[in-house]
Amino acid sequence: MNFGIIGTNWITDRFIKAAKQHPDFTIGAIYSRTTSKGQSFAEKYHVQNVYTNMEKMFKSGDIEAVYIASPNALHAKQSILAMKYGIHVLCEKPAVTSVREIDEVIEASQNYQTTYMEAMKSTVTPTFLNLKKNMDKIGPLRRIVFQFSRHASAYDNYQAGFIENVFKPELGNGAKMDMGVYCISPLIHLVGAPKSVQQNHYLLSTGADGQGSMYLKYDAFEAVMMYSKITDSYLPSEIQGEKGVIEIDKISDPKNVVIKYRNGETEMIGVNHKFDTMFYELEEFITCIKNKQIESTINTHQKSREVIELLTQK
């Protein structure tokens, strides 16, 4: 399956490295705003077709699907344009920057009968899916604590007076959109939307949030989300129940997951990953296309919408 690639950054490099492990993945074209950057990226991956006009790439016949890793604020417009031309879309998280946008994207997927999936990698991995199957072992759920904090190199540049895209709110960026989504999306997949939300954040001079936290209330339990691009944390995440705790090494990329029961016993429920984490999102996406599904049964359109509702809640 020939893919177009939008975005020439580190996440695109990582995606391509993982995707090359899939037998059905090939790169048909590269899009970049500048010819020189596009050609440089294309040479690295031995791709002949380079476009600086996105619509021409979608109309070219060179691609059947597209991986979008542009700034968040551009995701909706680019996704809808691709689907207009029958191109299936795998779009980096967060899918969009507003509820209105996700509704427009979902409508386009339905109208043009093209597959659309948010590239939330963690929720389609073997380990996360196995975690979901084992949730009831810890008894009545009482608290979920998910955290993802990593000091970004862009923050060092920010402090030196150079503002990178990750701290520009006009591009849909900030700690909640970039890091918090890795906490919120698994939460939605595991327990759905909360009854109420309280939140706090630390704003940088650009107006982007550097870090934040959320307290989410459910009928019989609570959830705490903590995220940051200006500090590090090495704490695991937890799902706490009356009979035990599920400890997760890294909520953004869960691999080592263990149930610690009250009686002192432990049970490892992590599943060996044969491939890079991003391979699994591509595998799910390609399977959907082959099965003529416009959405994944895991990373569904509705789940993406519920995540966006929380991400954009003021």
Give me the mean pLDDT over the 62-77 stretch.
Answer: 97
Q: How far apart are CA 176 and CA 313, in angstroms?
A: 11
Residue 67: DSSP 8-state: E
Q: Which residues contact 217 (CB under 8 A, 6 or more apart)?
A: 194, 195, 196, 197
Phi, psi angle pair for 140, to nearest 5°: -55, 130
The predicted pLDDT at position 15 comes to 97
Residue 255 reports pLDDT greater than 90: yes
What length is written for the chain? 314
Provide, rounded to the nearest whole percent, the portion of the chain with pLDDT above 90: 98
The predicted pLDDT at position 9 comes to 87
Residue 192 reports pLDDT greater than 90: yes
- Structure tokens given for 132: 């979901």
Residue 292 reports pLDDT greater than 90: yes
Residue 295 reports pLDDT greater than 90: yes
- Which CA distances in Å does 205 have to 158, 208, 209? 10, 7, 9
Q: How far apart are CA 229 and CA 15, in angstroms?
A: 21
Closest CA to 120 of 252, 275, 8, 5: 252
Give me the mean pLDDT over the 8-37 stretch.
Answer: 95
Name the pairing type of β-strands 209-217 and 116-119. unpaired
Q: How confident is the model at residue 207 (pLDDT cuts 50, 70, 90)?
A: very high
Give me the mean pLDDT over the 177-197 stretch.
Answer: 98
Q: How confident is the model at residue 13 (pLDDT cuts 50, 70, 90)?
A: very high
- Hey, what domains does the chain have and what are their CATH numbers? 2-121+277-299 (3.40.50.720), 126-268 (3.30.360.10)
Q: How far apart are CA 99 and CA 226, in angstroms?
A: 22
- Which CA distances in Å does 288 have to 12, 94, 117, 189? 21, 20, 9, 18
- Structure tokens given for 123: 């929720």
Q: How confident is the model at residue 314 (pLDDT cuts 50, 70, 90)?
A: confident
- Structure tokens given for 40: 């440089």
Give me the mean pLDDT over the 139-162 stretch.
Answer: 96
The predicted pLDDT at position 258 comes to 98
Residue 177 reports pLDDT greater than 90: yes
Q: How confident is the model at residue 149 (pLDDT cuts 50, 70, 90)?
A: very high
Residue 193 reports pLDDT greater than 90: yes
